[in-house]
């Protein structure tokens, strides 16, 4: 371990509680606090050599740890997902996209079961070869059937 690494290790040891205090402000989950602590230490190491002692080392550590936690918290919030409330009826939505989906669904349901199966597999992005294996026809027959099915769907009246 060189002199810079030794000095950094000693600084972290002396200021460990400051870093943990900041991390605990952003999470109560032990694993997440540990992750935040590690990220803060990494960022402290990146800036340690350039620290110019213009402020107290504890103040600098606090700021780096705080900025690290704020950045990671923002990233986590940006990537967070909202659970879909289950008390809504997706079939009652009347925007243009929903009307198009409803129309397509109605038309597909009017197809013969064999053709309906081919369309549904195609809508699942299954390759023609696999569709053929599932329904028991050749790849070229799948291609031909899909073309005819699409034409049939276009000609249907609502």
**16 phi and psi angles, rounded to 5 deg:** -55, -45
Q: Which CATH class is domain 90-155?
A: mainly alpha
Structure-token match 């064999």, residue found: 114
Average pLDDT over the chain reads: 85
User: Each residue of 98-149: pLDDT tens digit?
Assistant: 778 778 878 887 888 788 878 877 887 888 988 888 788 999 999 999 999 9
Q: What is the pLDDT of residue 63?
A: 84
User: Each residue of 56-90: pLDDT tens digit?
Assistant: 898 899 889 988 988 888 788 777 665 655 565 55
Task: With CA atoms as reference, report the closest residue to 61 among 19, 5, 14.
Answer: 19
CATH code of 3-79, in short, is 1.10.1740.10
Any idea where the domains of the chain sit in the sequence? Answer: 3-79, 90-155
Q: Does residue 95 have a pLDDT over 80?
A: no
**Residue 127: DSSP 8-state:** -
């Amino acid at each position: 371990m060189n002199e810079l690494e030794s000095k950094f290790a000693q600084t972290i040891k002396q200021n460990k509680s400051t870093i943990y205090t900041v991390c605990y402000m952003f999470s109560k989950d032990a694993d997440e606090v540990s992750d935040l602590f590690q990220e803060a230490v990494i960022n402290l190491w990146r800036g340690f050599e350039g620290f110019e002692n213009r402020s107290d080392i504890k103040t600098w550590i606090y700021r780096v740890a705080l900025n690290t936690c704020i950045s990671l918290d923002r990233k986590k919030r940006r990537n967070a997902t909202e659970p879909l409330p289950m008390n809504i009826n997706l079939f009652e939505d009347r925007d243009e996209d929903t009307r198009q989906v409803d129309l397509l669904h109605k038309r597909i349901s009017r197809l013969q079961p064999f053709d309906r199966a081919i369309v549904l597999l195609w809508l699942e992005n299954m390759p023609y070869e696999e569709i053929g294996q599932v329904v028991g026809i050749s790849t070229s027959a799948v291609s031909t059937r899909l073309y005819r099915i699409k034409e049939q769907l276009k000609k249907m009246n609502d």
